[in-house]
Structure 1
Amino acid sequence: MKTIRSKMMMLSILIWIIMAIIWLSMSLYNQRTVEKYNGILQRYLQMNQASQLSQQSLTSLNKYRIAPTLENLNQYGNDNASLLRTKVEMDWLRNVTNSMLLDSLQNMLESQSEAMDLAVRFQKDNDEENAAKQFDEASNISKYISEATLTLISGEQNTYDAFYRKIIKRSDEIKKMGLWTLAFVSLLLLLFSYRFVNSVTQPLLKLTLSARELSRGNFKNPIEVATNDEMAFLAITLDSMRLKIGTLIDDIQSKAQLEYDLHRHKLMLKESELKSLQSQINPHFLFNTLNMLSKEAYLAGAGKTSELISSVAGMLRYNLRKLDSRVSLKDELEVLEEYLTIQKARFGERLQVVREIDKSALGIELPILILQPLAENAFIYAIEPAEEGGTLTIRVKQDENYVLVQVQDTGQGMEEEQLTRLLSQTENTMYKGHSTGIGIWNVIHRLQLFYGVEEIIDIDSQVGVGTCITLKLPRGHKS
């Protein structure tokens, strides 16, 4: 069990030690070389920067002389300030060999700055002759600065020429050492690889073939490897995984079938619940009976009774449709009028109905039996409990995206807990003893399924003021 691991560990440790020694040696050498090289490079850049800033400030001065604007003057001021900063910053370049030349260069930088400032002053005084003289003086000094910079750089090159040669020599030595190290490590790897490759490839080939069979869904063939190392343990693990995956697939298939059956049973149960809402009595018999009673009442001179029976018959005929039927908003308002006729006869002067209807919005489609449950909710919770009755407002309006249908009452309103209970499925699925038997949650759920949106209803209720239920029906569902 430890053969392959021990060999690999020994090889890894040996290679790590060799590479660590090489890396540390080269890192230390490269760090020193890079630091030295960066110092030299910084000296060159600092020297070259003096010449560049000299030319740049002279160019800015010339732009100001051609176009004496505030922007050009500010640009010249910035460049001249950079030139003077560079003069101060060049002190760190001083050594025994370049001290005099560096002093001369710094003095020239200061002289150029003074000459340019005089040229600016004469330019402001409109003294073109003296301004031109000072500009020429600054130009000549800039040329001397360029020559002095080149002289400094040339001196630096001579000073560090020996260092460059030493770097080149060490680079060649490092290259040779790298080649020898590579050859040594390669030989070591070849010798070790030859020892254990044969003991690994055969079991590995068997494991590969077994894994291919597993990927094709064949979990029947056992996996066996006749060795005494990690490959044997891997084969045992893979074989155990084969058995567990096979069992898991069987369990998943069983659960999937069970979930499918459960889902189908839920759908059947839901369909039966919807059908049961319309099959609690014999609706056709009752509808025919009500029509007959309406005619008898009319012939007997009871016109009010005939009208009420006719309204009940109209509601029953409308409710006989399937709950998944599509109707227009106009149809819903018409059957709501039948319902309000019955309630008006019941409450008399205690009930006031206000209608604010935008007739251009009545063509939108919606599921059947939407408005009547909302109105019934207003009667149950607002108008019926109040001795003085109340006002029910039916409002239809539209905007760019929605048709808004509002059912508003002047009842006592509801607190947050009452509103939550009203919207809950468990406590409000059915109003026992009332006409529709369809709760607010049912209305919301069917509207969400019909339009495919969640935000379909808004309920604004204030205690002591009343409740307003607003349906937001997306436009585009025309009958």
Structure 2
Amino acid sequence: MNSIQRKILTLTTVVLVCLTVIWIALTFYNYKTQKQYNDILKRYLMMNEVTSASQQTITDLNNYLLDPSNVKLTLLNNSIDRIQTAKKEVASLQNIENQFTLTNYIHLIDSFIETTDRIVLFQIENDAESSKREFSHATSISTYISEMTLTLLDKELKTYNRFYRNIIKQSTEVIKLGIWVILLIGLILLVVTYWFSLSITRPVGKLTKAASELSKGRFDLPIKVETNDEIAFLARTFDRMRIDINDLIIKIKQKAQLERELQRSKLLLQESQFRSLQSQINPHFLFNTLNTLSKKAYLEGAEETSNLLVSVAGIFRYNLKQVNRSVTLLEEVTVLQQYMDIQKARFTDRLQFQMEIDDSGLSVQIPSFTLQPIIENAVIHAVEPKIEGGTIWVRVKDAGEKVVVELEDDGLGMPEEKITHILNEHTIQSESHSTGIGFSNVVKRLRMFYGNADVIQIESEEGLGTKVVLNLIKKRGEQG
């Protein structure tokens, strides 16, 4: 059952119960008063019945004396039975105040009945003189009975006069009490009705105010209705709707912001592409120039210079490719070899470079410019600071489902803090590579390419060199 419906039924039930209680109380009091009135009236009727029965008996007795037939005798006997019954009923009315008078009254009735019986007996014996004398006596007794009945009635009136007054007083008090009870119940019902109306109108008012705030665009104000009825459920639903609308507005704003940023990024990208196109003019020109110089050096017999220029040209050709595309490990190793040829020409005997390559693993895919930035980092931080130079090893091993590439140097090593920075992809400001791609950027590109955080590991101790291990998954490489 709904809560509001239950409240209405409860209020109606309370009203009906109050009205029922009042009706029952008044009905009971009225019944009690009426019963008392009936008892008093019954007492009067019983006493009056004795007088009426005695007078009827005198009449029937006179008729019998005038006409002593069986019919007249039957009527006389019926009257005697009637007065006998009236005597028994009157005997039950005895109380302290009328005990003496009522006892004499009953004896007088008995005398009247005995006199009547004697008259009948004398009449049967044809004793007319005795019958007439007893009839006169019976008439006198009947008169006494009537007078005593009036006396008893007078006593009853005096006895119940106080009762009558009490009844009148009680009736007045009951009327006053009824008025006060009705006023009290009316007040209680007014308070209950007011409280009941508040339990409905107050939540509705809150909902109306909340709707007004929402219409003004204020979606940050919570809607709270502390009841346990349907209005509270409506308020919770309304509040969830407010939250959903607010979230939707936030998402729309975020989406609009993203669209503005995307539009701005597109403009920047277009500008960047334009500048990139302009910047490619000089590298192409430089690449062609290096090729020309290489051929001229070869024709002049400077083979070492020619090879060095070829390596530089190869690096420039590789550098013209898009950085974000994937290449084979073979291409990376090739350009790495060309880079090391240039560095060996620079450092001469100070730089030793050794490669152990398993050709079966060179077909794996890898992001371009992965190995060169790592080796360049080793040249800058491991070989260049040492007077005697250093050694760099490059190993490629086929390990079944993956290819392991180890890049090792015997330099000064890295502190733990720097290794953590690199693996957390934090840019190190001291890095300055020829490709513009730092070590941290290589880590980020490898993880994005393979979708695996464990694709690169760095093992290093200060003074004992550094080893970088790449775990290149073949399956990813084949899909690339």
TM-score (norm 1): 0.48
TM-score, normalised to structure 2, is 0.48
